[in-house]
């Protein structure tokens, strides 16, 4: 790692990592489906993020591709630097491009974790999010399986994605939430979970910081990114891009925000 982490550091899942993370959703094909057109380019972006810019928080999901992003991470970065945090997510079905369906049956969550471990070539998933709470499966069953996987050492820390404040309060009674990942950006500014996470001491990981590119196109990345980073030291955005020049622009915008 050749440079100081952009925008300082934050403690997530037992590691001190860069506050500016990198999301891998846009490294897949159109509709978050299949391989990217330029696979070598995607691998270069991942390596550039980690080895050139010192980004030590990589966010992914088994549903990205599906499976594509996890394969890219392994091919680009394995063996992984000790300080690198790879966060993945489980509990989502992908019927086709741009189609997403939560599936929180305990047996499926377990199968997802086992498969992610193989794809990432990892001994454990340091941070594993429940990608969505499945309304058709009792929440207690979903949480119990994640906790069992943690007890078995297959999952290090557990996060929640796209959740409400009530969800956070409820799950916090059953286990330690390592991070919460919700949509937050200058076009979607209100999320009560932001302040609740601050109160609970939970890192808040906003995804879609540029609203799938629309904010970056209209305003550049500086203002939207600074707005997020200035919301509090517990906020750790995970912008995603497939272009080296865009990655450089994002990192330049984050420098100096601590």
| Catalytic positions | 64
107: which residues sit within 8 A by CB, 6+ positions away?
Answer: none
From CA 182, how far away is CA 164, in angstroms rounded?
9
DSSP H/E element including 204: strand 204-207
List of E strands, 81-135 = 85-90, 92-93, 101-102, 125-130
> What's the number of CA atoms in the CB half-sphere (13 Å) around residue 70?
24
Q: Residue 199 is encoded by which pair of tokens?
A: 């109160």
From CA 8, how far away is CA 14, in angstroms rounded?
16
Q: Which of 32, 27, 30 has the alpha carbon at shortest distance from 45?
A: 27
| Largest Cα span, the chain | 47
What are the C-alpha distances in Å from 181 to residues 19, 46, 82, 136, 196? 14, 21, 23, 21, 13
């Amino acid at each position: 790692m050749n440079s100081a982490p952009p925008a300082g550091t934050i403690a997530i899942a037992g590691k001190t990592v860069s506050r500016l993370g990198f999301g891998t959703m846009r490294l897949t094909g159109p509709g978050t489906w299949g391989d990217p057109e330029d696979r070598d380019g995607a691998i270069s972006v991942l390596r550039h993020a980690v080895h050139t810019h010192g980004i030590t928080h990589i966010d992914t999901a088994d549903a990205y591709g599906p499976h594509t992003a996890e394969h890219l991470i392994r091919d680009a970065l394995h063996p992984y630097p000790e300080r690198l945090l790879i966060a993945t997510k489980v509990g989502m079905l992908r019927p086709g491009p741009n189609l997403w369906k939560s599936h929180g049956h305990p047996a499926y969550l377990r199968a997802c974790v086992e498969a992610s471990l193989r794809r990432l070539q990892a001994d454990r998933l340091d941070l594993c999010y429940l990608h969505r709470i499945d309304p058709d499966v009792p929440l207690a069953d979903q949480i119990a399986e994640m906790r069992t996987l943690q007890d078995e050492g297959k999952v290090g820390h557990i996060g929640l994605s796209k959740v409400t404040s009530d969800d956070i309060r409820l799950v916090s009674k059953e286990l330690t939430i390592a991070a919460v990942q919700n949509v937050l950006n200058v076009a979607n500014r209100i999320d009560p979970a932001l302040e609740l996470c601050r109160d609970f001491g939970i890192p808040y990981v906003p995804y879609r910081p540029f609203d799938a590119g629309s904010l970056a196109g209209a305003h550049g990345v500086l203002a939207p990114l600074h707005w997020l980073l200035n919301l509090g030291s517990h906020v750790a955005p995970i912008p995603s891009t497939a272009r080296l020049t865009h990655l450089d622009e994002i990192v330049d915008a984050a420098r100096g925000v601590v």
